[in-house]
Amino acid sequence: MEHVYSDKVYYADTDAYGVVWHGAYLRMMEKGRVLFCDELGLDLVTLKEQDILIPVTNINIKYKSSAKIDERYSVKTIVSKKTPLSITFHQIIENTETGKIYTEADVTVVAVNGEGKLYRRLPEILANSIQEDALCSV
């Protein structure tokens, strides 16, 4: 399963050089993962009420080119790996008109309770929502 959302680069996303600030890409990817989870019925507020939080534990990001103000971009999100302990999302941010890739990243999340204690296995609601047939290879 693949989730895609599109938007444009706003002034607030850019730095003193007039290009997207490197940290803004992380915010764009976060929105992609949240929308992906929403589509699977995994509302993060509801998960929190069930004492399940899914923090990021690792990000491996490659910056390939710079986006500029007013350019249209899309964020593609897939689940590339699922283990009993974690979920890894593969995300690509690219120009919607040219297909030029801005960033590509693998983002790993785990499940913890409200006190930050790691669940030894993904809670059922997460494990069941992300089935093996939903995984995509990169």
Where the chain has pLDDT below 70, the residues are 131-138
Note if 15 is an active site residue.
yes
Tokens of 7: 């938007």
| Confidence (pLDDT) at 133 | 44
Which CATH code is given to the segment(s) 2-134? Answer: 3.10.129.10
C-beta separation of 105 from 62 below 8 A: yes
First to last CA, the chain: 12
Q: Which of 15, 38, 70, 133 is labelled catalytic?
A: 15
Tokens of 22: 């490197």
- Residue 80 is predicted with a pLDDT of 94
Domain ranges of the chain: 2-134
Q: Angle at Cα 82 formed by Cα 76 and Cα 87, nearest 5°?
A: 60
How far is 91 from 66, CA to CA, in rounded Å? 16
Q: Strand, helix or coil at 84?
A: coil
pLDDT value for 74? 98
What is the model's pTM? Answer: 0.92
pLDDT score recorded for residue 135 = 53
